[in-house]
Amino acid sequence: MGKAEKIALQKTTLLSSIEIAKHVFVLSFSRTEDFRPGQMVALALNPNEPFRLYSIASGNTQNEYRILFNIQTEGFLTPKLAELKAGQTVYISKPFGSFYGTLENDWWIAAGTGIAPFISMLESGMGKNKTLIHGGRSKESFYFADRIRALLDGNYIQCSSVLKQEGIYPDRLTTYLENLEYLPTDKNYYICGSSQLIVDVRDILINRGVAYNKIIAEIYF
Amino acid sequence: MEKENLFGKTLTELQAIVADLNLPKFVAKQISDWMYKKRVSSLDEMRNISKQAKELLAEKHKVSFTSFSNVQESMDGTKKYLFPVKPMQFIEAAYIPENDRATLCVSSQVGCKMGCLFCMTGKQGFQGNLTSGEILNQIFSLPEFDKLTNIVYMGMGEPFDNLDEVLKSIEILTADYGLGWSSKRITVSTIGIIPGIRKFLNQSNAHLAVSLHNPFEAERKQLMPIENVYHLPKVLDEIRSFDFNNQRRVSFEYIMFNGVNDQTRHINELARILNGIKCRINLIRFHPIPGTPLETSSNETILAFQAGLKKKGIVTTIRASRGEDIFAACGLLSTKELVKQQKNEEY
Ligand SMILES: Cc1cc2nc3c(=O)[nH]c(=O)nc-3n(C[C@H](O)[C@H](O)[C@H](O)COP(=O)(O)OP(=O)(O)OC[C@H]3O[C@@H](n4cnc5c(N)ncnc54)[C@H](O)[C@@H]3O)c2cc1C
């Protein structure tokens, strides 16, 4: 019996690190492999340490991988990732995972950095007829809002329970979904974010008549 | 500052603590003997440790167990214990007596991050990892401790999302300095976190159970989001690459959902993907949870499914339903509400 294929990490160089919002960074690395939008990479600073997983947040025609992350206080990797400077070494896996984007009229629902795979899908030309609902706390937590507006051919809804600002739904995205007058039951729903977001949104969708097999979730556990 | 509990520390950790305090190395062994063999629940009771050493230890450490705050007993003798962990956080342990066995199903996390569609724990979200001491406390504080024959890590949480603490707890259960149990009395269940499987198989000898629930990728990911990350065939490759001897078992858990995963094509696919793995499949009746779109398969379907798998040469058992009358109890939902009130959501 052959040895199971491990998630092998390869040495690469950080091309850039940009703090796009407080404690939120976009890192880019040179790209070596093809990938499907929605896939992720494993990252570590040392090949012998446990890795962490990050959705790719760039398009499959761009020649770098980008990831979006926020610092977790007392987290193992993110405080160190935030300190990285261009030119430093990181260890990265080949892209993997199967939270694949489609060309259908899907609904995309994300909170916080859970927007990352949808950015990859948008940057890869999958933005037609999509509905994207993004929950965030501050104005700057609607990461890539300008890119989204430029690439999305559909509805872009931002929800925030703390921000009171025109154009932003003034409550949580779960409340938005609960109160939405019409929620189509024939569409596929892609949800990405924390487990709490996934279970809350999934409960609401099912409650509103969406079949469970139309709901695909990526959990940032 | 809260004192750190020594209960749940491995011998190596205790040795580091006593070394820090400049106490003789043998004190660590004395502490582990008192905690794990004699099961005392305070430093004061450790009679062969000098008063001076105990005072030094007590400055920053304590030894204590937490008793259960609630228990519910089923008509069939199954008992569900509720243990407080932190304010407003609870975990459950289920005691399941049967003939000559008595199994305790322990939790490894408060809540769970894996979000499986059919799981009640997933609905409460994730509140935290248990320490090895909090895992072991469910065992040591159990009134039926002396009757226990088996431990299964199948309660709240994904054990491989908190693997280091789970491994420490297994070490204490099995080591000579701990309870000295055979690791064959312990089974750890995972939804298939590959790095965790590899580490667990290399660092312990306990049995492995994998929640499978559907052999088809597209269907499994509707039930279990982990399938997007750690694809079942890769999980099985990992298991295949490990040398299971006669002593160590791998089993697959399979909850039966009406019309979802209980058809002949599922039997055929299970036989295909499990080919070459010496294993057992446990079929489990689904206990519906509030708001679930899933239903349990009928008894006839479950029996036919078992027969179909057996025909393919796969050892297949149907897990007896236990404690059904107390299944929905123990305040999971109230925990969720309390937790929600405290939380600062990002959406
Ligand atoms: C499929 C997938 C895709 C992902 N994609 C992204 C992404 O695109 N962007 C992104 O930002 N994240 C993503 N994540 C999450 C990411 O993998 C990391 O988990 C995250 O960045 C935190 O890593 P860390 O090492 O800093 O924190 P960790 O060390 O993993 O800790 C996480 C949190 O748990 C707390 N913690 C640590 N240890 C304990 C303990 N013993 N008990 C209780 N709490 C503890 C820490 O304080 C911290 O807040 C993804 C996860 C998955 C599974």
Ligand 1 contacts CB of residue A160 (under 6 A): no
What pLDDT is stored for residue B288 in this prediction? Answer: 86
What is the ipTM metric for this complex?
0.93
State yes or no: is B116 an active-site residue. no
Ligand 1 contacts CB of residue B128 (under 6 A): yes
Minimal Cβ distance to A1: which of B194, B228, B240: B240
Measured distance between the N- and C-terminal CA atoms of chain B, rounded to whole angstroms:
33
Q: Where are the alpha helices (DSSP H) in B96-155?
A: 120-123, 132-140
* Rounded distance between C-alpha atoms, residue B314 and residue A129, angstroms: 47
* DSSP symbol at B296: B
Q: Band the pLDDT of A55: cuts 50, 70, 90.
A: very high
Closest CA relative to residue B251, chosen from B285, B215, B281: B281
B161/A216 Cβ within 8 A: no
Q: How far is B144 from chain A (nearest CA, A)?
A: 35
| SS3 (DSSP) at B340 | helix
DSSP string, B1-62: -PPEE-TT--HHHHHHHHHHTT--THHHHHHHIIIIIS---SGGG-TTS-HHHHHHHHHHEE
What pLDDT is stored for residue B338 in this prediction? Answer: 60
Name the residue at shortest CA distance from atom 51 of ligand 1. A220
B346/A112 Cβ within 8 A: yes
Q: What residue ranges of chain B have pLDDT lower than 50?
A: 328-331
Mean local confidence (pLDDT), A15-32: 96
Amino acid identity for residue B213 in this structure: H
H or E stretch at B148 = none
The residue of chain B with its CA nearest to that of A174 is B347
DSSP string, B228-245: GTS-HHHHHHHHHTS---
* Rounded distance between C-alpha atoms, residue A201 and residue A195, angstroms: 10
Q: Is residue A114 predicted with pLDDT exceeding 50?
A: yes
| Strands B61-62 and B4-5, sheet pairing | parallel
Q: Is residue A159 predicted with pLDDT exceeding 50?
A: yes
B202 CB-near residues (< 8 Å, 6+ apart): none
For the four alpha carbons of B215, B220, B225 and B228, in that order, the dihedral sign comes to positive
How many other C-beta atoms can be found within 10 angstroms of the C-beta atom of residue B290?
10
Rg of chain B taking only CA atoms, in angstroms: 21
Q: Residue A50 Cα, ligand 1 centroid: separation in angstroms?
A: 12
Taking contacts as CB-CB distances below 8 angstroms, the residues of chain B near A207 are 291
The pTM for the full model equals: 0.95
Active-site residue, from B59, B73, B92, B279? B92
Q: What is the mean pLDDT of chain B?
A: 93
Closest CA relative to residue B124, chosen from B88, B71, B176: B88
Q: Residue A221 Cα, ligand 1 centroid: separation in angstroms?
A: 7
Closest CA relative to residue B265, chosen from B219, B319, B315: B219
Q: Which of A51, A100, A113, A199 to mutate to test the interface with B (most CBs of B within 10 A)?
A: A199
Name the residue at shortest CA distance from atom 13 of ligand 1. A54
Amino acid identity for residue A182 in this structure: Y
Closest CA relative to residue B226, chosen from B92, B135, B112, B111: B112
Q: How far is A89 from chain B (nearest CA, A)?
A: 23
**Interface membership of A11 toward B (CB under 8 Å):** no
**Interface membership of B288 toward A (CB under 8 Å):** no
Q: Is residue A172 predicted with pLDDT exceeding 50?
A: yes
Closest CA relative to residue B187, chosen from B110, B251, B107: B251
